[in-house]
Structure 1
Amino acid sequence: MKVFTEAEVKANYHMADAICDIEQLLKNMDDISQTTRTVIPTGDGAKSMLYMPCVHLGKQQGIIKITSITPDNPQHQRPTTQANIIITDLKTGEHIASLDGNYLTRLRTGALSGIATNYMSRTDSQILGMIGTGGMAYEQLLGNLEVRPIQKVLLFNRTIEKAKTFVAQVADKHPEIEFEIVSDVSDLVKCSDIINCQTQSTTPVFDAADVQNGTHINGIGSYRPEMKEMDNRLFPKASHIVFDDLEGVKEEAGEFIEADAKGLFSFANHHDDLKGCVVDGNTVREKDSITIFKCVGAAYFDLAVALGAWNKLNTH
């Protein structure tokens, strides 16, 4: 078995690759087979283990991603989320590679937001508002930069020092972008063309009343029923709500589970997913529409980027 570190994967596989590979997979899902991911709580709050298997019968390759979430880790200078992806040759049953999954998880999640932004936001969107500047934030930034002419990024984090650290880490890499930290999240929401939420909050991180017509929102942080980072009072106002994986959202997206129970939204009448956007080629929207993308993750997205990265690593 070949083993590839995060640095090796990062040097060979990038955001444009991930967006391309995920879109290609969404256009042909016939050979993809997966089971529901297993989430096992291992302590208080978000502390848990996640196991996500998926196979590509056409390519005769399969993966399982093993992820640990340990919220107290930053206090000990360790990452909150750690992951590895094992690739298996289905013809022989041999486990042929182990790829560090931390970067690939961040990259595929950023790519999903990028794809959603590409199909759902206004093409002239220039101001990106980011709520949450933790470990997933940079790839969320990259996903949006890949598809829209972003000129300014507004940042909000409950701990302002973390937002300052984020700017210090990314500003030099993107000198063409103006970064501004805001102390009031409502200012960010009112001014942004695109809003990206990447938190594990159990209460909404913005007020629905502050969202302006024409705004697109990506919600990628909440992945358990008790997590509710988006204000679901906004859902009835949205012209389009798109999910990365409908069945996953039904089980894991707290704000939508609550909205369905309250009658603000109906799973029974909802069928829009990212695959439909990619296959159809566009999402119809008015300039003043509010659009929402909700991502909880699915193993077939990990499959797309893991096999894509493996192919590039194998040619170097």
Structure 2
Amino acid sequence: MKFWNENDIQAIYHMSDAINDIETLFTNMNAITQTQRMVISTGTGAKSMLYMPCIHKDKQIGIIKITSITPENPQLGLPTTQANIIITDIKTGKHLASLDASYLTRLRTGALSGIAPKYMSNSNSQSLGMIGTGGMAYEQFLGNIEVRNIQNVYLYNRSRDKAEHFKRQLQQAHPNLDITVTNNVQTLVQKSDIINCQTQSTSPVFEAKDIQDGTHINGIGSYRPDMKEMDNQLFPRASHVVFDDIEGVKEEAGEFIEPHEKGIFKFEEIDGDLKSIVSKKQLLRQSCEAITIFKCVGAAHFDLAVAIGAYEKLNKTPQS
């Protein structure tokens, strides 16, 4: 079995690769078999273990991703989310490789946050608002700037110091961007063409009344029934709602489960999953004033796409 760490993968596999590999996978979903991911709570709050298996019958490759989420880790100098992917040859049963999947997880989630606005946001969107500047934020940023000509970035985090640190990281890598840290999430919401939420909040991180016409929202952080990033009063205003994985959202996304139960929103009202939107190869929105929403909870086939993509590139890369 081969072992590749995060630095190995980051050196050869990038956001453009991840977006391309996920969109390519969408064209051959008949070859994919997966089960619903298993989430086991290991403590209070978001602390948990996640297990996500999936196989690609055409490529004769299977994966399982094992993820730990430990919110108190930053106090110990450790990452909140850690993951590994085991790649298996399903013809022989041989385990081919172990890939550090922390970066791949961030990358595939960022790729989804890029693919959604590629087809759902206004094509002239230039301002990005990011609510939450933790470990997932940088790849969320990369996904959005890969598909839209972003000029202005607004950052909000409960800890301003954390937002300022993230701003310095972005400015160092992208000096031409105008980046603003704000203490007022209302300001961010009102100025952003695209809003990206990546928090583990159990209550909405913005108010629906502040969303401007023409805004696209990516909801990324919440993945359990008790978590809610988006104000459910937003959904009746939305022209289009799309999920990455419909069954996963019904099981895990608290911000949609609650309004469905209350009759504010119905799952039957969505415009499909991301695969169906990508297959049309055109903007989903019908007008510049439309409000569009993408909700992501994650699914194993997205991990499969990037794991196979990275594995194939790593195998072609000469070892130093």
SS, match of residue 212 in structure 2: coil
Matched, 1:293 2:294: yes
CA–CA distance in structure 1, aligned partners of residues 217 and 267 of structure 2: 19
Instruction: Provide Cα deviations, 1:73-117, integer angstroms capped at 9, x if missing partner.
Output: 011000010000000011110000000000000000000010001
CA–CA distance in structure 2, aligned partners of residues 26 and 150 of structure 1: 26
Cα deviation, residue 28, structure 1: 1.3
SS, match of residue 168 in structure 1: helix
SS, match of residue 53 in structure 2: strand
Tell me the number of residue pairs that the alignment of Structure 1 and Structure 2 aligns: 316
Cross-structure match for 1:310:
311
Contact 1:201–1:227 at 8 Å: present in 2 too? yes
Counterpart amino acid of 2:311?
A: W
Superposition map of 1:222-301 within 5 A: 222-270=222-270, 272-282=272-282, 283-301=284-302
Contact 2:240–2:271 at 8 Å: present in 1 too? no
What is the TM-score normalised by the length of structure 2?
0.98
Instruction: Provide Cα deviations, 1:148-185, integer angstroms capped at 9, x if missing partner.
Output: 00001000000000001111222110011111000100
Cross-structure match for 1:163:
163
Cα deviation, residue 267, structure 1: 1.4
Change beyond 3 A, Cα 1:175–1:50: same
Structure 1 stretch displaced more, 283-292 or 49-58: 283-292
CA–CA distance in structure 1, aligned partners of residues 182 and 291 of structure 2: 23
Cross-structure match for 1:9:
9
CA–CA distance in structure 1, aligned partners of residues 51 and 240 of structure 2: 31
CA–CA distance in structure 2, aligned partners of residues 215 and 185 of structure 1: 15
Cα deviation, residue 269, structure 1: 4.0
Cross-structure match for 2:175:
175
Contact 2:52–2:300 at 8 Å: present in 1 too? yes
Contact 1:156–1:184 at 8 Å: present in 2 too? yes
CA–CA distance in structure 2, aligned partners of residues 175 and 119 of structure 1: 27
CA–CA distance in structure 2, aligned partners of residues 50 and 285 of structure 1: 38
CA–CA distance in structure 2, aligned partners of residues 52 and 254 of structure 1: 20
Give the ranges of 4+ consecutive aligned residues of structure 1 lying more than 3 Å apart after TM superposition.
Answer: 268-271
Contact 2:121–2:285 at 8 Å: present in 1 too? no
CA–CA distance in structure 2, aligned partners of residues 18 and 137 of structure 1: 16
Structure 1 stretch displaced more, 155-164 or 170-179: 170-179
- CA-atom RMSD in angstroms: 0.7
Counterpart amino acid of 2:213?
A: N
Superposition map of 1:1-316 within 5 A: 1-270=1-270, 272-282=272-282, 283-316=284-317
CA–CA distance in structure 1, aligned partners of residues 61 and 316 of structure 2: 17
Contact 2:156–2:181 at 8 Å: present in 1 too? yes
Counterpart amino acid of 1:302?
A: D
CA–CA distance in structure 1, aligned partners of residues 35 and 144 of structure 2: 30
Counterpart amino acid of 1:305?
A: V
Counterpart amino acid of 2:162?
A: K
CA–CA distance in structure 1, aligned partners of residues 157 and 254 of structure 2: 21
Cα deviation, residue 275, structure 1: 0.5
Cα deviation, residue 270, structure 1: 3.3
Contact 2:285–2:292 at 8 Å: present in 1 too? no
SS, match of residue 141 in structure 1: helix
Identity, in percent, stands at 66
Cα deviation, residue 262, structure 1: 1.2
CA–CA distance in structure 1, aligned partners of residues 40 and 185 of structure 2: 33
Contact 1:106–1:136 at 8 Å: present in 2 too? yes
Instruction: Provide Cα deviations, 1:193-219, integer angstroms capped at 9, x if missing partner.
Output: 000000000000000000000000000
Instruction: Provide Cα deviations, 1:252-297, integer angstroms capped at 9, x if missing partner.
Output: 1000001101111111343511001111112132100000000000
Contact 1:120–1:285 at 8 Å: present in 2 too? no
Structure 1 stretch displaced more, 284-293 or 242-251: 284-293
SS, match of residue 249 in structure 1: helix
CA–CA distance in structure 2, aligned partners of residues 101 and 153 of structure 1: 27
Can you give the 5+ residue segments of structure 1 that lack an aligned partner in the other structure? none
Contact 1:3–1:98 at 8 Å: present in 2 too? yes
Can you give the 5+ residue segments of structure 2 that lack an aligned partner in the other structure? none
